[in-house]
Structure 1
Amino acid sequence: MTNTLHVVPVNDLTDHDTSTTEPDCLCGPEVRPTAQDDGTVGWLLVHHSLDGWERATG
């Protein structure tokens, strides 16, 4: 993958692996294709929290 950006939870229980353009992190990030202004496709890797905060709804 090229043109890759990572979206990572802040203050999670562990550090997330953003050192690669592949979804190799322990959390199993979701890979989303994103259209670029020049017509190419980039990739957004959305990492999942390991502390489960997104499941807590108020």
Structure 2
Amino acid sequence: MKRVKWPLLFYAILAAASIIGIGIAIAEKSLIGVISCIVAVIFIMGMGFKTKKRMRENGELEKEA
């Protein structure tokens, strides 16, 4: 049975919200908004990959087929 990995889900939701923010900032013609959302996506995805690596090293993730 697969269990939900809450930290990874949290990072995925935040990254998706930041990507949506890029679209909203483009629609509002806000260069600062676009840049800040791009920086946020890069930061959040980096944290997500870092967390996934730590979870894999600690044996908290099951092997993928």
- TM-score under structure 1 length normalisation: 0.28
Over alpha carbons, which structure has the higher Rg? 2
- Bigger strand share: 1
- TM-score under structure 2 length normalisation: 0.27
- Bigger helix share: 2
